[in-house]
């Protein structure tokens, strides 16, 4: 397995060599004696982490770390200092602040690095879809506006770098036998552990080529897709590209509407996953701190139980994010046989805190029947329906979750005592961004995402008017044959 690559930046040779020796057994370590030398290395090599001293001649540590973030937004940055001046205090309290380790660092530096890598890897697992979705979405339209190969190369390299698993990308042009790099750079062969490489022409005469390296079949597939978009751009004149964007025959429009809806839903779902992942990381950080205090909390069993509940909940959220990530990427999300009664009871338990002050949630008889589902995703569908019902229920109202077991399907319904959905809104209920809630309450994505998840399970989510009550949403899925 490839070791994480770290850059040490310190003008003190003793400190620099000490850090290289200390971290060299765990990481692949480079060193720079000044901020200027560090920036040169950062431009050539992609590092996983940069550790910089604060006070140095020329560029100081804050400037080095800011530059590192500009070149690689995902890099871990650690400021090593014996004290903080006013500039450093401001820098270390920003929302995107680097980690800070005080001198003498003892084992604090290694601990900080490990925690930072764990946070980064969690964030990547939970939210890498965001980068992939943004890398693919709209690439054709963006290229259509490019004026020449240099601009197109910049767009292509930027999109490539957004893809999780692409380690480097560059575009070269050959003019009169002389080669010139238009954009990007590849890491040195001894600085990465790529399992694939792409070297493809963009121009028909092969004078412009794109090269990329990376890890993972999905990253390669996305990279090749981006290359094909660039190749298509190169074969068309500007007028043709813009005309193709505006093409409006009925068949294309119908396909585009469906693809656009799914792409938009996928990108927005990914963005939600990304934002929520950040909150989970904050929760996880608090957990780590509390876990370190577990021995001191032995006299408070209620607090320890709450800590265990927090750990369990965080794991469930992470499972859900991972399932959502795979769902958005259209990968196999791993269905398994689940007991319907347990699904219903779990969804009610998960919404208890939200519904308690709004309505009473009840369930009818729960038959002994199973469904083939991805549990985190399917639970999220039920949770969303129950929360929606709570939002529209009058104070003291009831929310009923019922299960109907028929010969070939199982239907789970959620009924509320609210006003129901106006007739004119019913056709748009499952469209992305459509909502009847206030702007600060509803995003218009919950039902759309739920409908996609149910459809992915081979089922249907529909709306019914509940006679004498409010809205009823019904999830219908094929029954598992025993």
CA 382 centroid distance within chain: 23
Buried-exposed string 430-464: b where 16+ CB fall within 10 A, e elsewhere: bebeebeeeeeebebbbbbbbbbbbeebebebbbe
Shortest CA distance to 135 belongs to which of 163, 177, 107, 97? 163
Q: Report the alpha-carbon distance of residue 298 to residue 304 in Å, rounded.
A: 7
Indicate the DSSP class of residue 249: -
pLDDT of residue 102: 76
| 418: Cα separation from own chain's centroid | 35
Contacts (Cβ under 8 Å, ≥6 apart) of 46: 5, 72, 167, 168, 187, 191, 192
Domains 5-106 and 336-478 share a fold: no
What is residue 333's predicted lDDT score, i.e. its pLDDT?
54
pLDDT at res. 472 = 95
109 exposed, middle or buried (CB, 10 Å; 0-12, 13-18, 19+)?
A: buried
Q: Is domain 5-106 annotated with CATH 3.40.50.2300?
A: yes
Count other C-beta atoms under 10 Å from residue 60's C-beta. 20
Our CA angle for 189, 191, 194, nearest 5°, is: 65
CATH code of the region 336-478: 3.30.565.10
Residue 299: the pLDDT is 80
Q: Where in the chain are the domains?
A: 5-106, 118-135+247-331, 138-246, 336-478
CA dist 425 and 433 (Å) reads: 13
Query: How far apart, in whole angstroms, are the C-alpha atoms of residue 376 and residue 317?
Result: 8
pLDDT tens by residue, 404-445: 998 889 999 999 999 998 888 888 787 765 666 654 455 556
Low-confidence ranges of the chain (pLDDT < 50): 126-127, 129-131, 134-135, 247-264, 329-332, 439-440
pLDDT tens track for 297-336:
778 888 888 777 777 776 666 666 655 555 554 444 568 8
């Amino acid at each position: 397995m490839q070791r994480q690559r770290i850059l040490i930046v310190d003008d003190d040779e003793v400190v620099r060599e000490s850090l290289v020796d200390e971290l060299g057994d765990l990481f692949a370590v480079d060193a720079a004696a000044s901020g200027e030398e560090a920036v040169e290395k950062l431009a050539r090599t992609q590092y996983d982490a940069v550790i910089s001293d604060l006070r140095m001649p020329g560029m100081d540590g804050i400037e080095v770390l800011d530059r590192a973030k500009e070149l690689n937004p995902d890099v871990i940055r650690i400021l090593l200092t014996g004290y903080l001046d006013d500039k450093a205090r401001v820098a270390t309290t920003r929302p995107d602040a680097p980690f800070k380790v005080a001198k003498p660092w003892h084992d604090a530096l290694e601990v900080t690095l490990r925690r930072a890598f764990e946070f980064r890897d969690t964030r990547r697992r939970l939210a890498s879809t965001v980068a992939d979705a943004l890398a693919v979405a709209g690439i054709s339209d963006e290229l259509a506006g490019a004026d020449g190969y240099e601009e197109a190369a910049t767009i292509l390299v930027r999109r490539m770098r957004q893809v999780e698993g692409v380690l480097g990308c560059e575009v070269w042009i050959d003019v009169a036998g002389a080669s010139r790099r238009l954009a990007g750079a590849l890491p040195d062969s001894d600085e990465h552990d790529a399992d694939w490489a792409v070297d493809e022409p963009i121009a028909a005469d092969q004078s412009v080529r794109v090269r990329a390296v990376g890890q993972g079949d999905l990253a390669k597939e996305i990279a090749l897709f981006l290359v094909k978009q660039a190749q298509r751009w190169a074969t068309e004149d500007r007028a043709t590209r813009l005309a193709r964007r505006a093409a409006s025959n009925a068949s294309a429009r119908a396909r585009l509407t469906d693809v656009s809806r799914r792409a938009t839903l996928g990108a927005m779902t990914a963005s939600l996953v990304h934002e929520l992942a950040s909150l989970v990381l904050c929760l996880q950080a608090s957990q780590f701190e509390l876990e370190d205090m577990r021995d001191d909390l032995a006299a408070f069993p209620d607090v320890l139980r709450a800590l265990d509940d927090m750990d369990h909940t965080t794991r469930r959220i992470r499972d859900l994010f991972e399932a959502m990530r795979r769902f958005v990427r259209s990968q196999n999300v791993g269905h398994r046989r689940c007991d319907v009664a347990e699904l219903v009871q779990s969804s009610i338990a998960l919404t208890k805190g939200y519904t308690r002050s709004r309505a009473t949630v009840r369930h009818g008889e729960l038959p002994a029947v199973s469904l083939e589902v991805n549990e985190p995703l399917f639970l999220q569908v039920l949770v969303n329906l129950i929360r929606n019902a709570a939002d529209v229920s009058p104070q003291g109202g009831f929310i009923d979750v019922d299960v109907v077991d028929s010969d070939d399907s199982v239907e789970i319904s959620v009924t509320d005592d609210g006003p129901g959905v106006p007739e004119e809104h019913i056709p748009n209920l499952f469209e992305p961004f459509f909502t009847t809630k206030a702007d600060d309450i509803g995003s218009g994505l919950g039902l759309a995402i739920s409908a996609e998840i149910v459809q992915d399970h081979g089922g249907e989510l529909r709306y019914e008017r509940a006679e004498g009550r409010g809205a009823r949403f019904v999830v219908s899925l094929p029954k598992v044959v025993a």
